[in-house]
Chains A and B, each alone.
Chain A
Amino acid sequence: GEENEDEAIQSTNDGNSSNTEDTQEASAEEPENEDENDSDNQEQDGDRDDWPDKLRFADTGVEGMEELQREFGPFKEALEDVLDIEVEFFAVTDRIIGATALEYDQVDMMLAGPSEYVQINSTVPESYPFVGIERDEYHAAFIVHEDSEYETLDDIVGTSIAMKDAGSTSGHIGPSSILIEEGYDLDQDFDIQLLDSIRIEAFKNDEVDVLATGIKDYHEMVEEDGEGNYRLIHEGPPLPNDVFLASPELPEDFVEEVKTLMIDHQEQILGSILETGENDKYIQARFLEAQDSDYDPMRRAYETLGLDFD
């Protein structure tokens, strides 16, 4: 079946508009493709009229795959190769813009973090996830200095905690929801500072007592400064997967097709993501099907944080 799917999408690529006549014109112009799979093509044209001829793909800077933001070439090529459709890739550095672009049909598919997905889904309720990236070691952690007296979460009541920016999965929503679930009052019990990209330096310089962030940051700090400097006092449960999500404007059978292809070719695609990065050792990743319900815990975290999107 693999081959078939492949070619099916290829034919979509040829028929670049919503009516059959156009499709045939286009096909006629490129007899090469027609030769390959003539009958199949004719048959499927009917329900593939509405398939896009170009996939607008945005990446909102998923944690651990930041490299993809700037070195997206191989990934884009792999995707084009696998899906056999032209892919327009946008590295968007702000999740709000990504969400808004999807809402206003300026983008077809996105790679987003769990927290982003929840946000986007709340604005565009019909958007849905179709492939998740499962990774090792994707959870929030509470880090203190080795020589500090803090051992448990109870000890850090009354201290200052550095987190990332509002809405970050592992650097805000994750740790916050842990604290909430443990029964603390975020406003009363801690001095939480959202320091974004200077959180680690601020922590290293004792500006704050505790750093609550993704486990990846911990590994990085250990790598930089050696063992024995930092201590984990609490690790949260695994966070939901990063997701590829689809715009409701895309035909569902097309998304289905893409999903199958991606899962089938995951080594090639994941390989292309990791090819450029240096942090691949933290990403023992694989693709799997994603459900909207996977993100309900995230939603609850948002709710308990009082960050609801009207």
Chain B
Amino acid sequence: MNALSVREVSKVFKDGTEALSEVSFDIKAGEGVVLLGHNGSGKSTMFKCISGFEKTSSGEIYIGKDETTFLSDRKYRPIRKKVGMVFQNFHLIYNLSVFQNVLFGAMGQSRNFLKVSAPFASKKDREKAMDCLKRVGLDHLAKRRSDQLSGGQQQRVAIARMLMQDPELVLADEPIASLDPKAGREVMELLWEIVDERKLTVLCILHQTDIAMEFGERLIGLNKGKLVLDDAKKNISKDDLNMLYFNVDEKHGGIV
């Protein structure tokens, strides 16, 4: 079964920027896939379309069996609950505590807000939140306000929040960009452990090609909004990867 199906999705922004053009791919449940591409190739836009924060200009996206293109926010909710996201810029609630931010990961579980607010959450949820924090090595900072963390620590909180959600599909946008090498590797191991153990599906945007080649069983590559690579790791050569970045014309970056 496909956990995620993207069919000929295009996205043109109001100002005419074509961020995605006719991208199609399927991800099977239990797969761990890495999404690669140069800056501005449309990776984050792809994620936003999947989670419904940007409307696609054309094409369809299926999450599990559900077509998401024309869903109202209310109908989208049960689907989003199954999709855990780590945003490129974390999006923490800056003036709340780390612990509270992680607890919010459980928001989809209940319609009652009090159940995810730190003073009133169930013992189980509170312990689970601490557990998620421990997994990213931040349990000692649970009480700290989240804007008083280092960049890498904030990224870990965002990951802990995603773990708290118990998602079926994980969309992680450069989850290790701000992490130190050891922590970055550990987070990737954590993600792939989830895939193996709990048969979850992970789609992970990375810029570190070495880590991508190490972890991703399958790699998808975007270039100027087009899908240019989609293959199992074993079929992909270093050159294939380099092509992803070197084929960029001056309109799409390329540093002089």
A and B touch in the complex (CB under 8 A): no
